[in-house]
Every structure is written in structure tokens, then in C-alpha cells.
Amino acid sequence: MNLDYIIPNDWSILEEGFDPENIKASESLFSIGNGAMGQRANFEEKYSGPTFQGSYIAGVYYPDKTRVGWWKNGYPEYFAKVLNAPNWIGINIYIEDEVLDLHTCKKIEIFKRELNMKEGWLSRSFIATLQNDIKVEVNTKRFLSLDMDELGAINYSVKPLNSDASITFRPYLDSGITNEDTNWDDKFWDTLNVSHENNQAFIQAKTMKTDFYTCTFMESQVFIDGKSMIIDPNISADANSASFSYNYKVKQNETYTIHKFGGYTVDRNHDKYELVTAAKKVLEKATKAGFSTLLDNQKKAWAKIWDMADITIDGDVKAQQGIRFNIFHLNQTYLGTDARLNIGPKGFTGEKYGGSTYWDTEAYCIPFYMATKDQSVARNLLTYRYKHLQKAIENAEKLGFKNGAALYPMVTMNGEECHNEWEITFEEIHRNGAIAFAIFNYHRYTGDYSYIPEMGLEVLIGIARFWHQRATFSKDKNKYVILGVTGPNEYENNINNNWYTNYIAQWCINYAVENIERVESDFTTDFTRIMNKAKLSKAEIEQWQEVAERMYFPYSEKHNVYLQQDGFLDKELITVADLDQAQRPINQKWSWDRILRSPYIKQADTLQGFYFFEDHFTTEELERHFDFYEPFTVHESSLSPCVHSIQAAKLDRMDQAYTFYLRTSRLDLDDYNHEVHEGLHITSMAGTWMSIVEGFGGMRVKNDMLTFEPKIPQQWDGYSFKVNFRHQILKVIVNQGQTHFELEGHKELQIEVNGKSVMIAPNKLVTV
């Protein structure tokens, strides 16, 4: 595969020239989505070469029977798989009697693919010479509507260039599809009914086991040189598919075009018996408006998103393309309008990892959504976890905890754990801390305390109970210890006293207690309700506090740093710089035991704690820990470089910060980890956003106030971003030498810049 074949451009992802080696990578990179559904950039027409077909519906999954080598007690029975849904984009093209297939054409010229991020559409154009020597020019454009999130639209044109040709468009629906990522080659879909009516077709299908009912639908219109035509299609249908054939004798240089409208209606939004009716309404509205009006609406909808979420970077096209690519995919994946949904690690671009929700959401995505959307979006994300609290309690019970202790799952779709590696599922328990931290972070940023008495406190109590029970008292140390964990650095398993885990456990207990006290004094009714429900006594709280107060933290007097875990200093401390480059990435070169006994860090672990709890430590302490741990960090997790970028910027190490920034923002575009064909790293894209806003912009919230310490890499002329802070929008423009602030709002906003207080009046440019 060619890395780095994407052409730099401010607003688009561009590929020029047809290279079958890049097909799967481009299918990932050019993926489109609208929060409710999404799909890999598969071709509409037949493609017989290697391809990874994928179209996904938010919240529709399949519980695939767990596959393990050796079963351990407590493993979940099922792994919730992201589910390839019936295909509605397919349009087979017949030129005379030959099917158009880029894998078998004699010649392909001026192939070009564009993902226009500004306007939210995907296009392709090429000239192909078929085996029958007919040369055709093809232009396609496709988008998934933001306005009507059950709808997608395709404009597909074919122009014969060297002769007249009988051309057939054969749009189809197909529910006989498979998943790339299946444990047992199970069939995931049960097709219930295939029907058609006029130019419309519908496939009703439900998922096996989970019984999600869906209707996949389509309707097409055809045109010659832009003029609408009525062509009576040849219809064919079988148990899993329906297709219409629109044949026309196209003259040389005439353009034959099909507009295909399709998509899914699902029983999350409609009664399961009304899915066809709902689909008909969508199609009626779509065909009435027509492709070009729908496209105009699409541009407007994306303009609105960009108006709030865009980050501009001047003088560095690759950096600019990188950040927009990240922001674009985050918005394609999750728009925050439905509290039942969440942000899967691969979004709608692949199937790997399954599930929809990891700690990534709380640790990385929430800051992005808080600052670029209305704060209700972040609240929805918190509410999602509140709704799963009972399941988290049951999950903890399976592992022997009691009395309402909650352990949120490592990976989940419906609140149940669905991961199955003991060292992760049972031991990567720090995830519980991120869920509590997100509540703190939401309150810190939005000032909205109401979430805590309404919902959050119950979550905090369940989590505090978990940590209290999970810690054990070491007589030897005369302290509480936490044994057998995996920290954020997954290159250590089953370790004792992971500093990050112990620290966040202590913090969770203290934060829970602090909020119990505040709710007790300020929200009496809620307090009574919660205490009755949780059956929480003062005595129990005191036991928690005993654990928090006497928590053990491994520390090296010699190095004057907290140790990542017990025994870290027993390792052979050879830095990454001194490691043979041929050995990297170590997760592809080394056996697991070698990784584990090495000092190499997959992702920020101790430093992740310094990131979350920055104001608990001095800058000197940060610097010491950064200098100690960064040299051992291999950043083989997509979640690692952003934190290092932010901390390097804070420590005025701008070259390092810039390098980390490029690595996080172009991780997929430049395919650093050789895996982009499997899908994109969606959740870590929010980390890229953080590395600009929190890293270079130095933005923090302190005492209900935004503070900034703006810095700029020397490679850039300037950059700008906007944040939605407590219902006002602040635009920040950083140039070499000065920073401008502009407030879209109604009342003046006090901020702090480099430690100095600055008052920003609405709608005036303030330069610092």
C-alpha cells in the first residue's frame, strides 16, 4: 500500500489516479456519515477487486458469540459487533452487455476521488475503457443528508465518448450481505420482506438475536443530458434483493444520469410495522426536492457545523487538512442529538473493536463536543452512562463486588460488558475514573451543576463504592493498594499500584464525597431520594475516605517521580531513541511478554494523570515526569500523542508539540500505524482538537473562567478556533506575536490570557 498518497488540500481529501492497492484505505478515508448512519466509500458500481464493504446504522448491532481460546469465569457471552447493514448504494452499470467494473477495465484515466469536507459530499470521476472498447466518462456524487438523517442521495452519470451505447443502470437493494468481522460466520440479518412499487423498493429485515427492525429503501430517477426521462424499468426481486433496470440507447457524448435516493428507517425512531410507510415519506420528500436541492441543503447544514467547529491553520496545508479531517469525521460519527447513541472507536468506517462506547468518549470526546456544540450534547453523553448504571452494578456483581458498586464496561453497546481479555475486561478498571472525571469536567466547563443531583451523584456513588471495595489493605505497606490492574498504558498488564489508577481512584472517592455534601446542603430532595435508593450510610462514606486517605502511591526518591507501577525501576530502562528502529512498532515485532517486561509505554499513563489533574501539580513536577516518561513512550495507541502534544506545548517545547500534533492529526491520513484499511480512529480525533485548543491555545477553565496561554508552532502563520462557553461563542485567533479574541454573544466575558485578566465585549475584536 502507498502511504501518503492523499493530496494536501485545505478543504478536501483528494486522491488522483487509480491504484487498486489503495482501495481499502480510501474506502476508510473517504467514508461518509450523518450521525445516524454511515458508510465506507465503496463504489456504487460492481467492483470485483479486493474491497471491504460496509454500511452501518447507528445503534444497530449484533451480539456475536464470544470467541476465546481459553474461557475465564466472568467473560461476557457476547461481543456486540458493529453490523454491516443491507446495501442501498449499489448501482450496477451495463455498457452494452458488459458490466462496468474498474477491476477489469482495459484502461482507467484521470481517476479522481474527492471528499469535500466543507460541503459534506463524496465524488468520483474517471474515464474508463471497457473490454468491449467502449470508452465512458463517469461522474458520481454521493452524500448522507444531515437534514434528513434517514436519507442518502447519489448522482451517477455515464457519458459514452467513442460511440453510441446501450446503457443500463441497475440500482439495487441487497440484504444478503456479510460482516468482515465475525467470529463464527453467523448470518446477522433475517430478511422479512422484499417489496417494490413503481420506482421504489423496500427490504424489511431484522437483525438476528437483537431484533432490530429496519427498512432499507430506494427510488431512482433518470435523465438524459439533464432532462428527466420516464423509463419503464425491468424489475427483479428475490429473497434478499430487489433491482430495477433502466436501459437507454445513449448517443455518443450524451450524458445518461441516475439519481438514486436510499437509506434506512429503523425501529429506534418508528414503530416496527410502520417502517415502509416512514420510508415512503422520506422518498416522497426527497424526490420532490430533487438531488440538487438536497445537495444545497447539505452544504448549508455543513456550513452551520463548520461555522462553530472549524479550526483554521494558516501556512501549513497538511496541518489544516489534518484538523479538518478530524473535525469532519467526528461530526459524521456523532452529532449529539440522541442520548441512546455514542461514539464508536471506528465510527461508521469499519467494524474492528465492535461496541460503541469506550472510555475514549469520556476522556477524549467530551471536551470537543462541549466546546463545539450546545452543552446539551455533552449532557446527553453523560446521561448515556447514567442510564447504564444498573448494568454497571450488575457487571461489578459478576466480578464479586456488592452493595451497589459499579464497574462500567470496557466496551459496550447496551451497558453490558462485551470485551473478553481478562487483563482488559477485568483489570483495565481505570475506565471507571474517566466516567467520574467527565462529570467533573462537564460541570467545570458548563457550570451546569444540575446534572449531579439529577443523575451524576448516583454514578459517583457507584464508582466510589467500586474503588473502596477494589482496594485492599496491605499490612506490609500499612496503606491501601490496588492490585492486578491494567492502566491506560496497555503495555503493562496485571500490575500492582498503577499510579494513574490509584490516583484517580482516590480522586473519585474524594469527588463523590464532596458532591454528596454539596447535594445534601443544596438539593435536599434529591439527596433524600438518592440516599434512600443507594442505601448509603455515613459509616460507609467514612470507610471510603479511609481508603482514599491512606492510598499508596509508588514513588522514587532517586528520580523524584511517581512510578508508573510497583517495580517499574526493575526494568532495563533503555529509551525509545536507543531502540533499534527495525524493532518498531513493537506491537507488530515483539511477542507480548517482551513488550510487557520492557519499559515502553503504549500511551500516556502517568502523564494522563498529570493531564487530568494538571492543577494538582506544579509545572516543575510535570516537567520532571514528562522528561522521565516521554523517552519510553512509543505512542502505539492513537490516544497517546495528543496528551504529549498538550504537555509539550505547556512546557514550551513547541517543536515536539508540533511533531506530536502532526502525528495525532494525520494518524489516518498518513497511516502511521499501517491499519487505515480497517477503518479510522474516530475517538482519538477529538484528541487532535484538544492538542490545538488546549495545547497550542493553552485553554483551560479555572474558577468558572476561560484562561489561555496561546502559543504557536513556528511552522504556522496563524490559527483560529471557536469555543462555545456557557452559551456564548468565543473565537480565538492566534498569529505569530499576537492573539485576537472575538465574542459572538450578548454579554461581556472575562477571560485570562497568560495570567492577565482580559474583558471581551460582544462582537468586538480584542487583540492581546
Interface residues toward its own copies, by CB under 8 A: 66-70, 72-74, 398-400, 420-423, 426-427, 472-477, 481, 483-484, 493-496, 558, 566-567, 569-573, 587-594, 596-597
> Contact 731/720 with Cβ under 8 angstroms?
yes
- Residue that has been written with the C-alpha cell 471495595 in this structure: 469
Which of residues 168 and 564 has its CB atom nearest to its own copies in the complex?
A: 564
Active site residue 490: yes
CB of 598 to its own copies, least distance (A): 9
Catalytic residue among 45, 416, 490, 709: 490
Residue 478: CB minimum distance to its own copies, A: 11
CA–CA distance, 102 with 82 (Å, rounded to integer): 28
DSSP class of residue 577 equals: G
Q: Is 603 known as a binding-site position?
A: yes
Contact status, residue 139 vs residue 126, Cβ threshold 8 Å: no
- Using a 10 angstrom Cβ sphere, with 0-12 exposed, 13-18 middle and 19 or more buried, the burial of residue 545 is middle
The H or E element that residue 449 is part of is: none
The count of other CB atoms within 10 Å of the CB of residue 652 is: 12
602 is in an annotated binding site: yes
Q: Of 341 and 396, which CB lies nearer to its own copies in the complex structure? A: 396
Nearer to its own copies, 2 or 588 (CB): 588
Least gap, CB of 482 to its own copies (angstroms): 9
Helix 317-333 and helix 291-309: axis angle, to 10°? 110
360 is in an annotated binding site: yes
DSSP 8-state class, residue 184: S
CB atoms within 10 A of CB 533: 11
Evaluate whether 687 touches 364 at the Cβ level (below 8 Å). yes
DSSP labels, 90-156: -EEEEETTEEP-TTT-SEEEEEEEEEETTTTEEEEEEEEE-TT--EEEEEEEEEE-SSSTTEEEEEE
H or E stretch at 248: strand 241-250
Q: What angle do CA 428, 596, 75 make, to 5 degrees?
A: 35
Range 273-299 burial, b when 16+ CB lie within 10 A, else e = eebbebbbebbeebbebebeebbebbb
The H-or-E segment that residue 423 falls in is helix 422-425
Measured from the CB atom, the residue of 14 and 569 that comes closer to its own copies is 569
Tell me the closest approach of the beta carbon of residue 485 to its own copies, in angstroms: 8
Least distance between its own copies and beta carbon 352 (Å): 11
Nearer to its own copies, 221 or 486 (CB): 486
Residue 475 or 747: the one with the smaller Cβ distance to its own copies is 475
Least distance to its own copies from the beta carbon of 492, Å? Answer: 9
Concatenating the DSSP letter of every residue in 614-629 gives GGGS-HHHHHHHHHHH
In the chain, how many H helices and how many E strands?
22, 33
Where does 325-426 show beta strands of DSSP type E? none
State the Cα–Cα distance between residues 555 and 561, nearest whole angstrom: 6
Instruction: Output 240 or 474, the one with its CB closest to its own copies.
Output: 474
| Cell matching residue 483 | 492490585
Q: How far is the CB of 593 from its own copies (least distance, A)?
A: 4
State the amino acid at position 104 in one-letter form: T
> Smaller CB distance to its own copies: residue 557 or 620?
557
Which residues are known to be catalytic? 490
Report the binding-site residues for substrate: 359-360, 602-603
